Amino acid sequence: MISVIIPLYNKEKTILSTLNSIRNQTLRNWECIVVDDGSSDNSCKIIEKLHDERIRLLKKENGGPSSARNFGLQYAKGEWIIFMDADDVFFENAFEIFEDLIKSHSSIKCFCANFKLLVGKRHRLYSRNTIDGLVDNPFKRFLFQEISPRAGTLMLHRSIAGKYKFPEQMRRNEDVKYIFDVLKNEKVFSSSRYVMLYNQNTLAASGRLNDIKKDYLGYLPRYSTDEWESVAYYNLYRQAYRNYLNEAYSLYPENVFATPSTKLRSGVLCIVLLIRRIIDKFLFTIHL
């Protein structure tokens, strides 16, 4: 069985669409755990009106999305875990795609699939370069958008999901920390098939944090032996400087990953992604 865990905080405008996308799955062997994190809107009432025994609503005091995900995992009954956000939706064959991957690769305990972006009213494939197969050099693949791990596309065996915790002191980029832990330590199988729709229209409503200590950008490591992991952290350092200028300079007076080789790789990455974006924008414009 697949257990979907959704942290919920004031998502009355989107939570019904998210849950209906789960209820409409072609594969029926699932449960959904929604963890209300102290919502003050009508989100919980919307869920309670569904009267669907496969959907369990748990309530807790506000502690952030990491706290809600960790809390929900304790109550999951399924062998496989998917963390999902309350404003995104699955395509109706998503669980069937994951089930096919499980059957075809029984020794694998981590799977990730592709996804689409909701931009305005149009759907755009996140990456036309997503690989099919076991992931080698995961950080390089991640940076070049050749794997697509995120909430809704990453399915973990519960033995793996339970090994890592979402950092509860963080309320921004906490999922990046969790995903990086999985990529560093686990064998991951990637599929180019898309399983969910990531709603970019709600990003503006999420606002901006003023405290870097509530963001993964305030807890970046100083060292990595993996060259492409170093590029990933180098890019995050640069993001920290852009988003939290004074705090970032105080925390990270020197960008320890700003070595010549890291800068070179980052530059190559930027050029490749730019070319791919231009091609994707063209294809998106002509509806391919």
Q: Give the ranges where 105-251 is alpha helix by DSSP (H).
A: 138-143, 158-161, 174-185, 227-243, 245-251
pLDDT of residue 83: 98
Q: What is the pLDDT at residue 154?
A: 98
**And the tokens for 91?**
């395509």
CA–centroid distance for 211 within its chain: 22
pTM, to two decimals: 0.93
Task: With beta carbons less than 8 A apart as the criterion, state whether 76 and 158 touch.
Answer: yes
Q: Block means of pLDDT (10 residues each) for the chain, length 288 residues? A: 97 97 97 97 96 96 96 98 97 98 97 94 90 96 96 97 96 95 97 96 67 93 90 93 89 82 93 90 68
Nearest-angstrom CA–CA distance, 156 and 167: 18
By three-state DSSP, how is residue 116 classified?
Answer: strand
pLDDT for 283: 73
Which pLDDT belongs to residue 180?
97
